[in-house]
Structure 1
Amino acid sequence: MGKLSEPRKLSIRVAPLEDESMDSWLETLARRCSMSLPALISAFGLPRIDRTHRLVTGLTEHHLRQVEHRLALPPGRLDQAVVPGDLFGQRAPRCRFCPECLTETQGRWNLRWWLPWTLACSRHQALLHLVCPRCGTTPRQRVPGQVHLHRPARCLNRAARKSSVCGADLGFAPSLTLFAYHSLIGVQQQLDAIPVHGHQDPGSVFARVDALLTPVQHGRSGQLDRMSPAALSTWERTFDDINDPASQFYGWRMRERAHTALTREFLHREYDENKKSLSQLAVDFGLPYRIVIERAKELGFTVTAGSRPLTFDDRWLREQYVTHLRSTRDIGKGIGISEGPVKRRLAELGVALRPVGPYSRKEMIARLDESVPGDIRAAVEGTTHGWLRLRRFQIHMALPSLAASSAYLGVAGNSLTRQFKQLEAAIGAELVHRAARHAPQRPTLRGASLLRQLDEPQARELMQHALGPDITPMPSTAHHTDAQHSRAGPRGRRLQRQERSPDQARPGDRAPGAHPCPSTPASAPAAPFRRCRPGDLCDADPRPHRHPGPHPLRPTPPAGCRAGANRRTNECSEAEAATSTPCTP
């Protein structure tokens, strides 16, 4: 038996409809032949295709002539079923659909539904659907398999690789009808008249599309009346697809805007003379950075990788680093660059760079004037926080204890102790007599001298300049009094309550002589005094002692009080007052 001289022709044939897409016609033919679509594609000798849009944009002229010959179609007939891939770019196109058209044509898909600017059906005056109403995915993404097992116009997407197909009838999707005389209907009729078959120049097609779509996009806010919520959502998503940065149409639009805005004169003034970066120009005009670079190269401007070469004022740079003792990081931050180029330029000028780290900071290498007292200079020079330690030492000496200073400054006590030891080590003398049990802290002779030096106008001005507006204020007299009373213990707190004026009273304070029990009337007679017990403190002698006479701070509760008053303070607790019999005057 001899070899076949040419491929056999297919006996079962289906003629493609006018404006039907290649993928739709092959699917109808496979369903008519009761075979899967991949098997039909392989039988025609076409390459293996996984994505449906490749049947519309990826077939060569040789493949089209081969299929026409196998089906005895007129040469060039299938050219009307495909569009050039140059119209889409890197982004895979998404197919929209009109439910009424699918129902009328028994599941045949229009070629123009693949075009990104086909937004509505001018025949049924409705927006095209973007996704399946059941599974929410874009239809016709992958080449379906067993199409002969499903009826036409069904969604054949799969949620997972081995799951069943969606199977929704897209012909019954709700209609996204537009109101009569909507501006998009007339525009869509003109868009449908633009030829896209054959070897059309993408630029000429995009120019005509842009001229028609721009007025609709600018005035789309006034087109939202009488639209259903589903139509409004589809309307917004449709224009988002048009402005997709990965689409070829969007790239053409941005290049046209760059040609109009970025002229040679403009780039010479802004890029060369004013030293504006191309990335800044891209932000100013809302253009992609790559398109701005393309436009600059097209006009002959030199575009370097990274930042452009820097130019320094050498005299200014040396003055800032050597005279004003600014760090390289501070200089770089001031002119909007990193410290690396600053260091390299200083090395080229022969300037010795300071050590890396805190030893190159201005406060570490700065020296105070000789008129400043020696103890202040010893505490500040060669350190980063000398003025802060001196300020905290001033505050510490104005308060009676380390605990009061810690509470006022919001710094842990052990941290303050460490800072004061660093201050004493820098000056070389002890500055503080620590607080004892019955004696507050006080400065030594050297510490008192340092405090007097810090009170001088010159020292106050230097400290204010070093610490800035966030300098901690000195504690007030009221704060100092509260600290003194807090240090004196319970007796000091009682004296503090008695010394308060009526407008300074706090919750829990009571008038002198008032009984602590809340059930006792305010008119109850004053109670007799009790005698002192061992360990009590009296005003006559602050030391612990035995006192045979009446104690002025311990009144005896009235007769008949069974509220359970505390023996040492004569104060009834809330639980006792709530459960016991009220006081009887």
Structure 2
Amino acid sequence: MTQMRVLPLRVKILEDEGLDSWLEALARRNGVSLSAFVSALGLSRGMFTRTLVTGLPPETLRQIETLTGLTAGCLDQAVIPPGFPFGPRLQSRCRFCPRCLAERDGRWLLRWWLPFTFACPRHQTLLHDQCPGCALGIRMLLPGRTRAYPPTTCTRRDKQRDATCGTDLTDTAPLPLTAGHPLLAAQQWVDEVLKHSDPRKTHGVIADLNSCTHWLLRAIEEGDLTGMGDHVIHAWGQRPTDVRTPAERARHLTAAVRGVIAHTATAWLADADDTPAIQAIRVLRERNDTTNKVIPWGMAAHRWHSLSERTRGRFLRAGDPHMGALDRLRARSLTARAASPRPGDHLPTARVRHIPQLLWPGWTVRLMPRHGMEENPFRAIAATLLLVPREAALSARHITDRLNPHLANTMTTTLQLTLKNGHPDVLAALCNLADYLDDHGSPIDYARRRTLVPAVPLTEDAWRQLCFDTDTQPGESANAKTKTPRYVYAQRFVHQLLTGADLTDPRYRLALKTPAERSRYHAFRTALTTGQREALHRHAEQVLDALGIAEPVIWEPPQHLADGLTLPGPRLTDIDLPALQRIVITEQRPPSEAAEELGITLAHARFALDHVLHEPRAWGRSSPLTAWKLRERARTVLTPDYLQREYIDGGRTLTDIAKDIAIPRHIAVEQARALGLTIYRSQRPHPIDKTWLREQYLIRKRSTDSIAQELGTEDETVRRRLKQLGIPRRPAGVHSQQVMILKLDRRLPLDIRNAVEGGLHGWQRLHRFQITMAFPSLETAAAYLNTHQGSLVNQFQRLEHDIGALLFHRSAFGKPQRPTARGKAILRHLDKAHVQALMRTALPNSKTTPMPDPTTLAQALAANSTRQPPGPLRPYPGITVPRIRVRRETLVLLHDLLAHPGEEFYAAQVAARTGLNQGSLSDRLRQLTQTGWLTSRLEDDTAWRNRAPAIRGPGKRRVYYTLTPEGRRAATHEIERRSNPNQPRTTACTPHTAPQPA
């Protein structure tokens, strides 16, 4: 800004006056035009008038205050605050009330610049949007010739007539509104919002108004304007409706249109009860919305996301009946906390730590439908659905992969079955559960447990001891056919108890693989006595203590989260537990009969049995429990130390040992086998010295066969002894061969050792490399070695990989191959006598080839020097287009072009017909266009726009090609020449021979 003295002539700024109006009055007082005055202040002459109230930086305002003698900061009230939400269309013109303008002697109010200032409550009229004389917007440009016209005059200049409008705006006919008119009430509400003490509240409401504007332009119908007057209805009929086009978006919205929008939006933007607000939105949404719509039809996504949380929540609750089930969960549209998911929200990701793979039992019986649903899939999917609320991802697979990836395609099916059973409140309950976990968390970190809890948290011994302590029978197997030990089901029970795991998930070691196994697992749970169940819970507590996890074994969210909801199942406490105990425990009837008799599902009966007293049965002296106690005594007495002393070192038999401790011999044999001892039924073999065996096998790398031959025994005997000593055996096959484990002398060069050690055929690759480097190319070397060139390439690539460096430079036209510095060093090492001796020892005569003699090398050099690069292409006889090299892909393209003569086409059509890659096909089409075989043109505007999908741009223009007459002749010539192999080739000429005419 240029230096300027304090103005001697000043004008007082009026209340509610805009900076543009005050500067105009100040310019008139000093006898200059506004544009000249603005220029003197250091601002641009060509700026819009709006910029004076919306675009001046604070330091400019402070300098103007200094020049005009105003108090610092007083001009902040004459401009619109920074960040004020003007909306998608910046208000480029100023509205006015003729009577207010006359009363203020042409001084303009600041609020007339605001988009949603559309009426004058004082005079009960609509504001005017344009000059009645020139029919143009008011104060769009800086007022000119301010000294020649009064301040109430329109100073828009007509460039064609070179004249100023000069209309007195105070003579404009008013647009009266009756007392109590809806638009006056809407303007009063807007004014109260603008005067709110919290600017964030003001900005939020105005931003919501702006975001709803485009949608309301389509949603509001003329029937909604009853009682607003003909002028308002006529103005609404002239509104822009197709705001998808830039021209329509740029159209100015009149004061009447803005008033109708503000009046309609008041129903859900005002601080009112949610119920009428939601109903008002629902009436408008149901006019155009289709099924599974989250964002109202006609509202752009960026405007939807710019809505405030409260307003967007009301829109979601209004659209809930028409949204898809997953979207209803994601947005929680059934609850008062409805909100659109935000990308980057960490809560759904953090929530997975608080959710088991199977829904909690108490909530399973509340949410599971009575018909058409299996227990385990429902529990798994219901638990996964708890991750959906607030989840921004639209993919069901993305959600299920976090918890239950094996159920990726059943989430939506489960939701549909649940809703089909007439229980939409199940979705509300899931939302309440997810919100509770977000707000309060869970005392159990299931993600940590799924990581830390052992795959087998209960050993067989622990299960047996547990049953012994509770006077129950552990059982050897739950089913004679499968032979699955009963303790395995106990392990599954404890693992599921601790981790909430879905035992149908194949990732778990204890997973249930068949329906029969699942049925037996349910039978195991039903047969557990109260003492066994309590003991298993205590064992689970011990597992957590050992892991340092201070958490309860089980936990469920409180049941009050379902208050007020109609759910398909009862609470567990509402089930008749004494009747269930009588049917299942006393009468020994299956749980399915109890469920049918009590009017509940089988899942309800199974979970309720966990809360029923189940006493163990009384066992006799000949019962399996007695046999188990004998085995328990054997495990206690026949310890490893005892058997080592008596059986192994003392040489006693197991029969004698069993008699000493008063147990059957077969139980003593079982215990000895369980401890890994060898049971001898005859004379014991002489043992092999373990120190000597370790030295021979581990240090000297001898094979078990050679050791067995030296000892005069069988190979299997040596392997068994290795197993007894705990010596890890080398893998069978090539990895145990001497050449694979042999280490060369450390004095040999490192590159030679890297090429030979740890692999097969290293010496052969070095031998062939030494011979090949004597030839000028791989091709001539391959002919001498009687092998394929590709085989040599693979061998030398492996050699370079093992050594870790490039060994030679490949040959080119007229330039032989040559070794690199690293390759030369290897060749020098290979020439040494001791290295050659090692190579001859490692390679049999059948795999060695003598170095080539000078005559062979001379012939190879001569053959390599005759290779010439391809020459230029000959022109076509009688065809004017240049010749191109025709490969297989080009030949397929030419066949297709001749099959569609005279047609326009684009690359995607040819790719679909021929199967050629579209990228390489486009390159070939451009080459044919450059050489004159084809002509091309860009797609015209009409066709380009007509193929655009709904609410999206048309994308990239297509390029259409047409085969030229000369291109058709050239294509025909190429195809005929390849179909007639006897035709002379005229594709190229050598540098020494000129092309001959055909």
TM interval, shorter chain, is 0.3 to 0.5
User: Would you tell me which structure has more helix in proportion to its own residues?
Assistant: 2
* TM-score (structure 2 length as normaliser): 0.25
